[in-house]
């Protein structure tokens, strides 16, 4: 029996940024065949001669000017065969964490605008992109408790209070800051630098830096990262 398919494969990118104690997602504005414009996740169709990872990196760079070398695959969306009214499209979603203060975003190709949106102020998105974003947020919250990915959202050097606020913001929970600091420092992969915060109010505070080499060495020895909240 002949089995004919007419299915397209796309990729979508969920890029999270963190600034001023708020979590953001990067969105683009596009026009999809009508006079109405929609905000959407960066992404597009995969070319015949490229891998999924190459496709998402290319689309993200083309539409937002953001150049990433690593994104983690999130989930494949295609159970709803009518998720795109134009064609049958299966989307493979990827997500990444970036230091939003260190990126220059610029709309290009078929994106008319590109903008950071606070997670609690996301508009109605094209296709099923709200669902994709919600799935990525759940993954981010879960992974934050068993892998130190939060450092990817911060500058190379940061205040310890910035790390505390990041966990409180994303997990939407208050923490025992004294115990949190004690536990994080006990792991041994956080270096205190000789640099101080540029903020001039109050007592000068030293900046910290994530030692990825030390963390990888600990992982090889069987180290298990875990952050729990009551």
CA gap 63, 112 in Å, rounded: 9
Residues 51 and 95 in one domain: yes
Residues 138 and 200 in one domain: no
Does residue 21 lie in a domain region?
Answer: yes
Among the residue ranges 63-67, 101-105, 189-193, the one predicted with the least confidence is 101-105
In angstroms, how far apart are the furthest CA atoms of the chain? 76
Residues 111 and 124 in one domain: yes
Residues 77 and 13 in one domain: yes
Q: Please state whether beta strands 190-196 and 113-118 pair in parallel, antiparallel, or not at all (unpaired).
A: unpaired
pLDDT band at 68 (very low <50, low <70, confident <90, very high): confident
Instruction: Select the more confidently predicted residue: 82 or 171.
Output: 171
- Residue 69 pLDDT > 80: no
- Assess contact for 126 and 32: CB atoms under 8 A: yes
- Assess contact for 100 and 19: CB atoms under 8 A: yes
CA gap 23, 138 in Å, rounded: 13
Does residue 2 lie in a domain region?
Answer: no
Residues 172 and 199 in one domain: yes
Does residue 139 lie in a domain region?
Answer: yes
Residue 175, both tokens? 């923490």
Residues 70 and 111 in one domain: yes
CA gap 139, 133 in Å, rounded: 10
Average model confidence (pLDDT) across the chain: 91
Residues 18 and 41 in one domain: yes
Residues 166 and 71 in one domain: no
Residues 162 and 124 in one domain: no
Residues 134 and 155 in one domain: no
CA gap 80, 78 in Å, rounded: 5
CA gap 179, 185 in Å, rounded: 10
Q: What is the pLDDT of residues 89-147, one digit of tens each?
A: 999 999 999 999 888 999 887 788 999 999 999 999 999 999 999 999 999 999 999 99
Residue whose structure tokens are 């994709």: 132
Q: Count of domains in the chain?
A: 2
Structural domain including 29 reads 7-144
Average pLDDT over residues 73-96: 93
pLDDT band at 34 (very low <50, low <70, confident <90, very high): low
- Is pTM beyond 0.85? Reply is yes
- pLDDT, position 3: 74
Domain end: 104, 125, 144, which one? 144
């Amino acid at each position: 029996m002949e089995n004919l398919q007419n299915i397209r494969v796309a990729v979508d990118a969920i890029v999270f940024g963190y600034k001023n104690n708020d979590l953001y997602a990067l969105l683009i504005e596009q026009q999809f065949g009508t006079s109405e414009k929609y905000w959407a996740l960066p992404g597009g169709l995969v070319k015949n001669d490229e891998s999924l990872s190459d496709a998402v990196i290319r689309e993200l760079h083309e539409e937002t000017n953001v150049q990433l070398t690593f994104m983690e695959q999130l989930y494949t969306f295609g159970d709803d065969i009518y998720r795109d009214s134009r064609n049958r499209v299966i989307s493979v979603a990827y997500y990444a964490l970036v230091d939003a203060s260190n990126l220059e975003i610029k709309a290009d190709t078929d994106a008319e605008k590109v903008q950071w949106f606070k997670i609690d102020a996301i508009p109605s998105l094209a296709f099923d992109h709200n669902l994709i974003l919600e799935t990525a947020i759940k993954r981010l919250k879960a992974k934050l408790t068993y892998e130190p990915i939060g450092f990817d959202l911060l500058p190379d050097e940061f205040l310890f209070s910035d790390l505390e606020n990041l966990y409180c913001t994303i997990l939407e929970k208050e923490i025992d800051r004294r115990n949190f600091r004690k536990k994080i420092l006990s792991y041994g992969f956080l270096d205190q630098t000789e640099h101080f915060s540029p903020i001039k109010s109050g007592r000068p505070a030293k900046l910290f830096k994530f030692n990825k080499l030390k963390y990888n060495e600990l992982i090889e020895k069987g180290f298990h990262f875990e952050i729990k909240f009551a």
